[in-house]
Each structure stands twice: as structure tokens, then as C-alpha cells.
Amino acid sequence: MAKVILGLAGEIASGKGTTAKYICDKYNGSAHRFSTMLRDVAKRLYLEENRENLQKISTVFRENFFDDILSSVIAKDVENDKHEIIAIDGVRRMADISYLKRLPNFKLVYIDTSIENSFGRLTQRGENMDDKDKTFEEFKKDHEREAELQIRDLKEKADYVIDNNGTTEELYRQIDEIINK
């Protein structure tokens, strides 16, 4: 079987990580996150792993090397991955999909959810140090940061759009339908 590579895009806390975990668990797949390499650098530099610092690191890489440097790293990781089903968590930019679409069997999946649902998920999970105590107004401002601005445009470029405003089971059903195609 040829690899199935699903690039997961969506705004903050839309369900990308949940989708990637489901793919790993149910399909014995693997997941690669854009933020992993950024978190690695933040840890090495003893910086707090918050959204602002990770976005600054991303900007420094892209401005000083090339715009799709993070995509090139992910693509190499995926090429070396022996799993048949692979999720790429955190596709954010047009440059990302331009690069990743070169991978055989790559499909872009956009996960759509309301800002209210996303906010509830974000504060509940507390993935970044600054998430648990974030106000709804701060969360809305996060959506206007540079790293988030192109995400909405990816919906139009997606091969599949998932509506994640329902239950987890409904999300899983939609993922199953995509993988079974």
C-alpha cells in the first residue's frame, strides 16, 4: 500500500492534534507536528514554550533561510517514515502546501470549528503555558498573529473539510471516511 499523507490545517484548537492522535491510535499511523521543531529550539534556548515564542522562532527561520523551511523538514521526516498513514499536524501557510503537495498521496484536510469551541478546547487542554488563563479576547487576538493569518485561506485549497463542531465520534467518522477513500 502507498503511503497516505494527510496534512491537517485549521485554526488554533480546531482538532488537529485530536485527529492526528486518532490516526496514530486507530490506524497504527504516525504524526509529525510543525511545532515540534519549534519546541525543540525553545527548550534548547531555555525559552518558555508559549505561542508568542514559538511564532517568533518560526518567523526567524523563515525570514533568514526560506519561507518553506519548516515544510522541507516535515517532508524529509515523512519521506523517512515507514508508516502507511501519516498525519502532518499544523499546516499553516500557502508555502507549506505548495511544498507538501509534492509528496505522493498528500491530501490537505482542513478542520473547521467555531471560535467558541476552539477557545473551550484550548483552555481545557492547556498545551502552552499561557493557554489555561487566557481570556476570550486574548484568544481572538491570537487569531490575528502573523502565523495564523493564512490558515483561513487554506480551507479553499483543502482536498477535504471536516466540521468539528459536533462530538468526538462525529469527528472520527469523518476521518474514517477520508482514509477509506
pLDDT in tens, 137-149: 877 887 777 667 7
pLDDT of res. 64: 96
Query: Percent helix, strand, coil in the chain (nearest 5)?
Result: 55, 15, 30
The helix (run of H) or strand (run of E) holding residue 7 is strand 4-9
Mean pLDDT of the chain: 90
- Give the separation between CA 69 and CA 99, rounded to whole angstroms: 9
pTM of the model: 0.87
In the predicted structure, residue 134 carries a pLDDT above the cut 80: no
Q: What pLDDT was estimated at residue 131?
A: 65
According to the model, what pLDDT value does residue 129 have? 63
Neighbour count for residue 4 (Cβ, 10 Å): 20
Domains and CATH numbers, the chain: 4-180 (3.40.50.300)
% pLDDT > 70, the chain:
94
Cα angle 130-48-57, degrees, rounded to a multiple of 5? 105
In order of 7, 113, 136, 171, the CA distances from 167 in angstroms are 22, 11, 22, 7
Which residues are within 8 A (CB) of 176 and not within 5 positions of it... i.e. 6 or more apart?
26
pLDDT of residue 118: 86
Predicted local distance difference test score (pLDDT) of residue 174: 98
DSSP-based three-state secondary structure for 123: helix
Mean pLDDT to the nearest integer, 52-76: 93
What does the alpha-carbon distance between residue 122 and residue 82 come to, in Å, rounded to a whole number?
A: 32
DSSP state of 70: H
- Cα 51 from chain centroid (whole Å): 13
d(CA 12, CA 122): 8
